Structure 1
Amino acid sequence: MKACLNGGRAAGVPMRPEELALDAAAAVAAGAEAVHLHPRDAAGAETLDAVAVGAAVKSVKERCPGTPVGVTTGLWITNGNALVRLERLRAWADLPEASRPAFASVNLGEGLFHETVAVLEAAGVATEAGVWSRQDADLLHGVPVEKVLIEVLRTPAAEAMSAADLILERLEQLGVAGPRLLHGEDEACWPLIRYAGRLGLPTRIGLEDTLVDETGAPARGNADLVKRAIAVWEGERYRPRT
């Protein structure tokens, strides 16, 4: 189970390094095995700036020793400019190990994917490939990545499992290697946590993906979401089959 602490939400989520560290520690204590976060600048905006990324990562690593810490590389953060993103990511190579992310999520459909993977590799940062569709999966063939994120976004709950199956089937057809992590957002979040449990796939949970728990009640924070998601996942994973 990975904890996705904040995403791009504008309020109600941890943003500053010390807030991220406290929230991450609570999520890890609740059972999270990795942490994903979106670093912020002094104004609270998402950023790929090496100083801000390093400060956030270092703070979380200090509170969660041994826990892999990953960050976003979302292209929207550089206003859709893939070349500017590459420039920001190259600066991560100068970060000391204590401040460097273990991995970074890169979405296949955002442009210059292969170049972005190469820059991250040179900086000592592994790539998690964000696959949103069958078309994205086609772009992944032959590219070494740490993990494949099957991300079902902007999809009604009733269609979430079918959308996930299409991506999973395409990855198998292409022979794409590496572990998979399956997750959704908003109304598709909890159905896909259950489905991930049924399939025995890793998943993630946190305020980036949902603001409600599995009952539909307002989420009480990342740590509580992690605890609940593990129970839901395990309930599906170990449910007797008839």
Structure 2
Amino acid sequence: MIRRIKACLNGDRAQGVPVTAAEVARAAAEAVAAGAEAIHVHPRDDHGAEFLAAADIGAAVAAVRGACPGTPVGVSTGLWITGGDVARRMAAVGGWAGLPVDRRPDFASVNVSEDGFADLARVLRGSGIAVEAGVWSAGEVGTLLGVPVDRILIEVLHTPAADAVASADTILERLDRLGVSGPRLLHGEEEACWPLIRHAGRLGLPTRIGLEDTLDLDDGSPATGNAELVARALEIWAKARLP
């Protein structure tokens, strides 16, 4: 269970993030030492391309686990990784069931807005991999009904800082109205990142931080890496929780 914070190490950024297995493993260990309770990573090859093939996913997961044993490790299933090909994504992710347990991701993020969301969620759960459902707007919440997921990610993207909290609250209210239960994690990207770290703390919701979400600290200065982002986010989250 993520009580406070998950680290998102790289995302699909083209530069300024850890890419190789060695870089990702080192960044994961540093983030955990700074307080991260789980790791989310977009595995890449040495040229920076994302992949979903079972053997490659297994190697990436093993590298992170070796660097921070006992820490849950999750990966992306973004449809863009297969160029929008739903069937090819399903086939690749379906192959993860054959991975040894120590090389299988603990969880995977699936974007609710992408074609094939429900089927992919069921395949992952059938493989013993927990599902994080990424919800980007209130209009997507209904898609969750009847789909087995283990955590709901309220993800506020492409949103100015001034509108971030209102956007998050709209999604949260819709989840409540439709009776969609289960653990929730709240975060934003870029401008929305830091306001929602604080808002997550106020609400007592876990959050996430890392170079996938922002390259900068809350004062606008460049972060030295994932560990610094995690440490600062925990300070802000904890302070917001104080009465």
TM-score (norm 2): 0.96
Superposition deviation, residue 96 in structure 1: 0.6
Residue 162 (structure 2) pairs with residue 173 (structure 1): no
- Which residue of the partner structure matches residue 104 of structure 1? 108
What is the CA-CA distance between 1:41 and the residue it aligns to? Answer: 2.3
Aligned to 2:135: 131
Aligned partners of 1:191, 1:42: CA distance in 2, in Å?
A: 34
- Counting aligned pairs with the same residue, the percent is 62
- Residue 196 of structure 2: aligned partner: 192
Q: What does residue range 78-157 of structure 1 map to in structure 2 within 5 Å?
A: 78-157=82-161
Cα shift at 1:233: 0.4
Q: Specify which of 206, 229, 232 is matched with residue 225 of structure 1.
A: 229
- Partners of 1:8 and 1:117 in 2: CA distance: 21
Deviation at 1:162, TM superposition (A): 0.7
Q: Distance in 1 between matches of 2:146 and 2:170?
A: 19
Give the aligned CA root-mean-square deviation in angstroms: 0.9
Structure 1 residue aligned with 2:62: 58
Deviations 1:95-133 (A, max 9, x none): 111111000000000011111011112222110000001
The answer to whether the 8 Å contact 2:74/2:105 transfers is: yes
Distance between the aligned counterparts of 2:46 and 2:123, measured in 1?
26
TM-score (norm 1): 0.97
In 2, Cα distance between equivalents of 1:13 and 1:49: 21
Q: Which runs of 4+ in 1 moved over 6 A?
A: none
The gaps in structure 1 that reach 5 residues or longer are none
CA offset digits 1:25-68 (Å, max 9, x no partner): 11000000000000112422011111111111001111111110
| 2:213 is aligned with 1:209 | yes
Any idea what the Cα deviations from partners look like across 1:181-240, whole Å, max 9, x if unmatched?
Answer: 0000001000000111111110000000001001110011000100000000011111x3
Counterpart amino acid of 1:234? A
Equivalent-residue separation in structure 2 for 1:177 and 1:112 (angstroms) = 22
Structure 2 regions of 5+ residues with no counterpart? Answer: none
